[in-house]
Structure 1
Amino acid sequence: MSIELKDEARRQAQICNSCRYCEGFCSVFPAMHRERMFADGDITQLANLCHNCQNCFHACQYTAPHEFDINLPQILAKLRQESWEDHAWPRGMGKAFHRNGTLIAVAAIVGVALLFWAARSLPAGGEGFYAVMSHNVMIAIFLPAFILPLVSLAVGLRGYWRTVGGTRIQISDITEAFGSAAKMRNLSGGHGEGCNFEDEDRFSQRRRVLHQMVMYGFLLCFASTSSGTILHYVFDMPAPYSLLSLPKLLGVSGGVILSLGTLGMMWLKTRGIPSLTDERVRGGEFGFILLLFMVSTTGLLLYLAGGTPLLESMLVVHLGAVLAFFLLTPFSKMAHGFYRLAALIRDAQVKRDNDVVTGSAGAEARLGKSMRQ
């Protein structure tokens, strides 16, 4: 992580600590105000707690042309980006994707789709998709592509956890972090009015809603795949499934929500203020959104193409998009969800530890008072 960026973040954090005007905006400021000096791990933790809602920038009286030149959303965005790249494994892949994400995403989808097109010549058998490509071939391709990114993410998150000084996790830390992530609490603004991401004078919940659509749409699609796997292996009910089956209900609804959410995110990205983000990785952000959009939209088109001559070609494109998404997950912005969840867990830990210290100090004070009486 750049020494210059860390020093600049420390300078701005110390000024924010003196002002405290933005204390109620999100988790960053309470976490910041618990510290007096900021180690490298503290700065990394603050960067990953930030959701870049930009409310603090528009509320700040010390932004340019003031000599303090505060731009906390941008400096934290740059540090957050470098923390993902530093902890990515293999390390160089993170930087490559975030600098050239759209090109890499398109090349990966096309390249993998061509491999699947070639794999059509392997023996198949079955109905629906399995008439084009056998179940065993799909498993042989996707299982390593699913496991390897998980290993890569685990290595990166382990390094991040050490950097921020994480300790043993308790169930309460996880539940608090998941509760915050599920509600996108840090995108609701200090008073629940939302972000002024698009316009400094107007608050909106649009960014929060679109993030929730992407997250829940993806989770529904994942649940669809999981339920299909259970039906196949546990109940000996292989695909294809009817529209009213659990895999189809979850998959179609999740695909629609995810497609609309990613389209909305692309549109919203064009309306943001580049100077409040890390402009170096704009291609990577659009590349990540494009991957998710392709996964969801080709999945819906594949369902509509069932029983038509388009089934074969749509299956190849969809499998190419899905496999490219999995392979690039540790290096795309998809990783930010894992790091942000880790940051929220660490924040819950620190708050819990502070409550214990405060409670102990209060108990000692009450005991001392009772003894004096």
Structure 2
Amino acid sequence: MTAQLPEPRQVDPAQPGVELIPLLNLQEQEVDRQMRICNACRYCEGFCAVFPAMTRRLEFGKADIHYLANLCHNCGACLHACQYAAPHEFAVNVPQAMAKVRLDTYAEYAWPRSLGRLYQRNGLTLALASGFALVLFLCLTLLAMGNLFTAMPGGNFYGIFPHNTLVLMFGSVFGFALIALGLGVRRFWRDVSPPPATTALKTAAAVEATASVARLKYLDGGHGRGCNNADDRFTLWRRRFHHLTFYGFMLCLAATATATLYHYLLGLAAPYAPTSLPVMLGIAGGLGLLVGPAGLLYLNLQRDPTQGDAKQKPMDRGFIALLFLVSASGLALLAFRETSALGLLLALHLGLVMAFFLTMPYSKFAHGIFRSAALLKHAIEKRQPNPIDAGSE
């Protein structure tokens, strides 16, 4: 006897060919099959948010499956605890099944939709190629201007690229990335969002979801010992490296925001002293974005291939590599800004940053946005009456 995929439940048997709700693709059908098995077992109910959310459902529609897939943090604990995992005939592998659906989520909710296919193609080669193509363009531009190997007094890189030019270039690209991500997650939320709740309930849920995101709560395996990575052993290093990456990125954003306030509000133009707030925030963030991505790349290379979707590894590694190179080039620019290497390092850093912003809406960066939305839905949903209990009364 072998495990079978469930019969499609989206077509009315009395009216063949009449679609009631969106048909599930093969990846979604597999999640549906596994969730039905998990719903009967419930051994992993305390592991993470996925399983309590699962128990509120007897059937799993397309929106439910995408919600649960983005609620999954791929910690691997349920796979290593599962009595129905391979070689059992049921072959339950929740982390892998969820990972495959997440890729569909990113592509399906991408804006513009025509660019959703970039999720399948945004691998290591594409990410680095786009970065170095932009670096080459900027280097040739500076070479034509005669500024590629010219030292500027006090390391003033605005003497090479005027401040307003940089604001226009990067503000436009970053603004597009935010709009693309915002419109995509808005559509996702409309499809998966829970019934209306009171303002007080939503506020409490938002606080809980924010805390879960800030703490990376569900990267502890549900028991505080961490994730499974290469084998059955638990490790907290995946959570720690994620923390370094996340807070490193946030500190770099804070450094940019502070420098903007210095420039426009206080009238203080860059370059700033190493002891100034923008520079100290940038150094701290840059170090986090060196150590965090380096650690995540190491864990990614060591990870058991059964945990996750092998097709997504190039996308994961491309995103990690870009983050690492952006940080490394930024720190090098700070260290050598008063030398003749300023122009070359500036072109390198700006090209990599531009590539990161351009690919941001269609890279692994999106997983944090969709996962945050799923955590908010979970926080709201669990404050609602359980429909299973209501139906049994």
Mark the CA change 1:75 to 1:281 in structure 2 (over 3 Å): closer, same or farther: same
Q: Could you tell me which of 136, 156, 159 is aligned with 2:184?
A: 156
Letter in 1 for 2:348: V
Q: What is the CA–CA distance in structure 1 between the aligned matches of 2:386 and 2:276, rounded to whole Å?
A: 48
Mark the CA change 1:166 to 1:313 in structure 2 (over 3 Å): closer, same or farther: farther
**Percentage identity across paired residues of the two chains:** 42
Q: What is the CA–CA distance in structure 2 between the aligned matches of 1:276 and 1:316, rounded to whole Å?
A: 38
Q: What is the CA–CA distance in structure 2 between the aligned matches of 1:192 and 1:333, rounded to whole Å?
A: 25
**1:227-246 matches, cutoff 5 A:** 227-246=258-277
What is the DSSP-based 3-state SS (H/G/I as helix, E as strand, rest coil) of the residue aligned with 2:382? helix
Equivalent residue pairs, number:
359
Q: What is the CA–CA distance in structure 1 between the aligned matches of 2:382 and 2:292, rounded to whole Å?
A: 33
Q: Report how far residue 2 of structure 1 moved.
A: 5.7
Residue 146 of structure 1 aligns with which residue? 174
Q: Report how far residue 195 of structure 1 moved.
A: 1.0
What is the DSSP-based 3-state SS (H/G/I as helix, E as strand, rest coil) of the residue aligned with 1:66? coil
**1:36-55 matches, cutoff 5 A:** 36-55=58-77
Mark the CA change 1:85 to 1:2 in structure 2 (over 3 Å): closer, same or farther: farther
Residue 109 of structure 1 aligns with which residue? 131
Paired residues of 2:107 and 2:119 also in contact (CA < 8 A): no
Q: What is the CA–CA distance in structure 1 between the aligned matches of 2:388 and 2:80, rounded to whole Å?
A: 35
1:325 aligns with 2:356: yes
Q: What is the CA–CA distance in structure 2 between the aligned matches of 1:342 and 1:153, rounded to whole Å?
A: 12
Q: What is the CA–CA distance in structure 2 between the aligned matches of 1:86 and 1:355, rounded to whole Å?
A: 29
- Please give the TM-score of this superposition, normalised by the length of structure 1: 0.91
Residue 137 of structure 1 aligns with which residue? 165
Q: What is the CA–CA distance in structure 1 between the aligned matches of 2:33 and 2:104, rounded to whole Å?
A: 18
Paired residues of 1:123 and 1:133 also in contact (CA < 8 A): no
1:66 aligns with 2:94: no
Paired residues of 2:329 and 2:349 also in contact (CA < 8 A): yes
Letter in 2 for 1:160: F
Q: What is the CA–CA distance in structure 1 between the aligned matches of 2:119 and 2:29, rounded to whole Å?
A: 26
Q: What is the CA–CA distance in structure 2 between the aligned matches of 1:309 and 1:110, rounded to whole Å?
A: 21
Residue 17 of structure 2 aligns with which residue? none
Residue 325 of structure 2 aligns with which residue? 294
Residue 20 of structure 1 aligns with which residue? 42
Paired residues of 1:195 and 1:203 also in contact (CA < 8 A): yes
Mark the CA change 1:147 to 1:167 in structure 2 (over 3 Å): closer, same or farther: farther
Q: What is the CA–CA distance in structure 2 between the aligned matches of 1:17 and 1:279, rounded to whole Å?
A: 26
Residue 283 of structure 1 aligns with which residue? 314
Paired residues of 2:173 and 2:358 also in contact (CA < 8 A): yes
- Please give the TM-score of this superposition, normalised by the length of structure 2: 0.87
Q: What is the CA–CA distance in structure 2 between the aligned matches of 1:319 and 1:167, rounded to whole Å?
A: 44
Letter in 2 for 1:156: G
Q: Report how far residue 8 of structure 1 moved.
A: 1.4
Q: Report how far residue 115 of structure 1 moved.
A: 3.2
Q: What is the CA–CA distance in structure 1 between the aligned matches of 2:304 and 2:113, rounded to whole Å?
A: 29
Q: Report how far residue 3 of structure 1 moved.
A: 1.4
Q: What is the CA–CA distance in structure 1 between the aligned matches of 2:111 and 2:123, rounded to whole Å?
A: 17
Letter in 2 for 1:178: T
What is the DSSP-based 3-state SS (H/G/I as helix, E as strand, rest coil) of the residue aligned with 1:177? helix
Residue 306 of structure 1 aligns with which residue? 337
Paired residues of 2:106 and 2:119 also in contact (CA < 8 A): no
Q: What is the CA–CA distance in structure 2 between the aligned matches of 1:284 and 1:94, rounded to whole Å?
A: 13
Q: Cα deviation per residue 1:119-143 (whole Å; 9 max; x = unaligned)? A: 4467999861112111111112112
1:348 aligns with 2:374: no
Between 309-318 and 100-109, report the one with greater CA deviation: 100-109
> Alpha carbon RMSD of aligned pairs, Å?
2.2
Between 273-282 and 288-297, report the one with greater CA deviation: 273-282
* Greater share of residues in helix: 1
Paired residues of 2:122 and 2:362 also in contact (CA < 8 A): no
What is the DSSP-based 3-state SS (H/G/I as helix, E as strand, rest coil) of the residue aligned with 1:10? helix
Q: What is the CA–CA distance in structure 2 between the aligned matches of 1:237 and 1:123, rounded to whole Å?
A: 27
Letter in 2 for 1:80: R
Residue 115 of structure 2 aligns with which residue? 93
Residue 267 of structure 1 aligns with which residue? 298
Q: Report how far residue 204 of structure 1 moved.
A: 1.0
Q: What is the CA–CA distance in structure 1 between the aligned matches of 2:115 and 2:125, rounded to whole Å?
A: 14
Paired residues of 2:56 and 2:386 also in contact (CA < 8 A): no
Paired residues of 1:9 and 1:76 also in contact (CA < 8 A): yes
Mark the CA change 1:223 to 1:123 in structure 2 (over 3 Å): closer, same or farther: farther
Q: Cα deviation per residue 1:157-182 (whole Å; 9 max; x = unaligned)? A: 11111221345582222211110011
Residue 371 of structure 1 aligns with which residue? none
Q: Cα deviation per residue 1:41-78 (whole Å; 9 max; x = unaligned)? A: 11111000001011100000001121111111110000
Residue 184 of structure 1 aligns with which residue? 216
Paired residues of 2:72 and 2:98 also in contact (CA < 8 A): yes
Mark the CA change 1:119 to 1:2 in structure 2 (over 3 Å): closer, same or farther: farther
Mark the CA change 1:337 to 1:100 in structure 2 (over 3 Å): closer, same or farther: closer
Paired residues of 1:98 and 1:331 also in contact (CA < 8 A): no
Residue 175 of structure 1 aligns with which residue? 207
What is the DSSP-based 3-state SS (H/G/I as helix, E as strand, rest coil) of the residue aligned with 1:61? coil
Q: Report how far residue 276 of structure 1 moved.
A: 2.1
